Amino acid sequence: MAAGKALNKKNLLELGADTLADLLLEAVKGDAARQRRVRMALSADLGPEAITADVRKRFASIHRGRSFISRKAQKKLAQELAELTTLIETRIAPDAPDAAFDLLWAQLQLAAGIHERTDDSWGTIGDVMRETMAAISEVAPKLSKDPEALADSVFEAISDDGYGAFDHAVPALADALGSAGLSRLKALAEAACEAPLTDADLARYDFISDRDARAERALAGRNRTAEMILQDVADAEGDVDSWLAQYTPEQLTYSTIAPSAVTRLLAAGRAEDALRLIEAALPGDSGDPWFDTPELDEAHFACLEALGRKDDLRAALWNRFERRLCPNALRRHLKLLPDFEDIEAEDAARRIVLTYKPVEKALAYCLQAPDLPLAAELIEARSEEIDGDAYEILTPLAEALAPSRPLAAALLWRAMIDFALDRARSGRYGHAARHLTDCAAADAEILDYGMHLSHADYLEALRKAHVRKSAFWERLR
């Protein structure tokens, strides 16, 4: 039988418009989502007004919905909303930016109702709404709306937003707001902080039975929103001091806040102020490692670089490498060294990795660097320390080592096998059996096991220690 034509655009066009129309009608029959896509495509040829009417009709339908949205339906809805955003951007925004903005804003207003009807643990709807806000930022410079009226709309939307859809409204609309709109927004936020709590403010926390506690939470929540607006306005106006003023001196040293503060100070040309702030935020050698974040270090490096303090920058990069085994910090440190000094530094770095504890962190460094010879040396010297539960590091590292350093790979597989069997983790027996098969395959390539058991001896010891774990041994049959 001769092969049929391939299903591609060229061959489909040869069928002709009538045939394609019949096939399309048959394909969308009974599928409401596909029918909507076809109707939108038809409206697109009728101009912005027709598209706008159809999009608003669809938004109204979504707004009226009350049934729970399943995970499968959520994906379809997210895809449809993303397609509507693209349609608005490409077919309406070029000729009617104000109308495009109104539609995109209306789409963001759907977020609350959608979130209440579905579980967005995967962030599917949140991602779509962020794309919508990004589209708003593109159309913002072309808007002709009254800046103060726009500010009122932004303030109301952010104040009523419980799901974060409008979190970035101020930076997205900064161009359209201009100085007048930003001033209006600032005045609204400041007034909100001073105003008494409303019944609506308290209603959001009616799950708290204690009246005073409820009022305290409501006040904090409302003021947090107003303060976020004030910070965004300060950013838009380039007013670093107003941005900083929203935090106490202690809060500015928090690992979650200090890097953002430093970024703004550096952008304003205030490197000395930025350095003083970040030095107060760095936890130091005796500080809590939980707060020793890469972002803090990066902010510190940026300050030293801006001030031209190369020696201090080299020292800070080396310090970070010693503490965190950060490959990027080491590479940057080596590039700043004079000729020939980098060789000594590389040797010193290897010694640090070979003795670093826990050994799993050192292995992660070898995988990330990557440095397979160093990994093999480390594994062969400290195999007894390796935690077989660290499979997210050991598995890819073993796969990388297997072609050229089979002994090191086998020792990693053994660590994972031993963990699964010693702890009776039956859920991992399948993986452990596969690792044992990998060890057997690697055995032919290993010429010398050194101080480690040969594969035959390891297998014999394994059978003696775990003879009763039939669920594991059956996996090998």
> Distance between CA atoms of 431 and 275, rounded to whole angstroms?
49
35 pLDDT tier (thresholds 50, 70, 90): low
3 has pLDDT over 60: no
Structure token digits, residue 145 = 């709306």
111 has pLDDT over 50: yes
Tell me: the pLDDT tens digits for 363-401? 999 999 999 999 999 999 999 999 999 999 999 999 999
Tell me: the pLDDT tens digits for 294-325? 899 999 999 999 999 999 999 999 999 998 99
Q: Which residues contact 369 (CB under 8 A, 6 or more apart)?
A: 327
pLDDT value at position 361?
A: 95
pLDDT value at position 38?
A: 61
288 has pLDDT over 70: no
Residue 459, Cβ density class (10 Å: 0-12 exposed, 13-18 middle, ≥19 buried): middle
Backbone torsion region of residue 424, taken as left when φ is above 0, otherwise alpha when ψ lies between -120 and 50, otherwise beta: left
Structure token digits, residue 26 = 């048959």
Q: How many CB atoms lie within 10 A of CB 56?
A: 13
* Contact status, residue 259 vs residue 298, Cβ threshold 8 Å: yes
359-368 and 372-382 helices, crossing angle to 10°: 160
Amino acid letter, residue 254 = Y
Tell me: the pLDDT tens digits for 146-202? 999 999 999 999 998 989 999 999 999 999 999 999 999 999 999 998 999 888 888
CA distance readout (Å), 29 to 13, 22, 81, 169, 187:
21, 11, 21, 40, 54
Strand intervals (E) in 263-416: none
Q: Which of 458, 405, 469, 406 is nearest to 436 (CA)?
A: 458
> Distance between CA atoms of 372 and 404, rounded to whole angstroms?
9
Return mean pLDDT, the chain.
Answer: 90
Q: Is the dihedral of CA 465, 471, 472, 475 positive or negative?
A: positive
> Distance between CA atoms of 50 and 44, rounded to whole angstroms?
7
Amino acid letter, residue 216 = E
Residue 219, Cβ density class (10 Å: 0-12 exposed, 13-18 middle, ≥19 buried): middle
pTM above 0.75, yes or no: no
287 has pLDDT over 60: no
CA distance readout (Å), 254 to 209, 248, 278:
32, 10, 10
Q: How many percent of the chain have pLDDT more than 70?
A: 92
343 has pLDDT over 70: yes
Burial 131-167 (b: 16+ CB within 10 A, else e): bbbebbbebbeebebebbebbeebbeebbebebebbb
pLDDT value at position 1?
A: 39
477 pLDDT tier (thresholds 50, 70, 90): confident
Mean pLDDT of the 217-230 span: 89
409 pLDDT tier (thresholds 50, 70, 90): very high
pLDDT value at position 308?
A: 96
> Distance between CA atoms of 11 and 222, rounded to whole angstroms?
60
pLDDT value at position 188?
A: 96
